Structure 1
Amino acid sequence: MELLNHDLAHDFPQLIGKIRSLKLSSSRFLHLFNDYDTINHAIIKIEQDGGAIGDVAMEDMKKKRLKIKDDIYQMLIAG
């Protein structure tokens, strides 16, 4: 099975400059960015290595990742 790339730079290539800028100017954005990166890498590791995690736990992780991504996107498109 081919895994999808969920890195923010891949999902929002048109907003890379804004991502870099907000990482430097907004501690909230930086916190969200780091949280997203952490959970995204954890999901990738589980998917690639076939880690021992239940379907419900994996689904919860993916929902959390999506919520963080939505919060990040809202900051990116604001003002």
Structure 2
Amino acid sequence: MTIEKHDLHHEFPEHHDTIHELKMNNAHFARLFDQYHEVDHEVHRIENGSENTSDAYLEDKKKLRLKLKDELYQMIKSQTGS
């Protein structure tokens, strides 16, 4: 089974420069970015079998990852004006 990459650069490759700029210049974006990647890595560890947890816990983490991604994407869109 191949685990899909969910890091922001894979999710939004067309916004690579904007993501980098926001990480460097926007503390709130940088904090959310770091939190997103921590949650994403945890989900990967669980999906790969490196960590055992309940299905409900995994679902909660996936929902949190999606919420953070949506929030980050809104910030990217407002930065690019699209």
Give the TM-score taking structure 1 as reference length: 0.95
Unaligned runs of 5+ in 2: none
Q: Deviations over 1:17-74 (max 9, x none)?
A: 0000000110000000000010000111111125211111100000000000000000
Match of 1:40 in 2: 40
Match of 1:74 in 2: 74
Count of aligned pairs between the two proteins: 79
Q: CA separation in 1, counterparts of 2:10 and 2:43?
A: 16
Q: CA separation in 2, counterparts of 1:58 and 1:45?
A: 10
Give the TM-score taking structure 2 as reference length: 0.91
Identity %: 39
Unaligned runs of 5+ in 1: none
SS in 2 for 1:49: coil
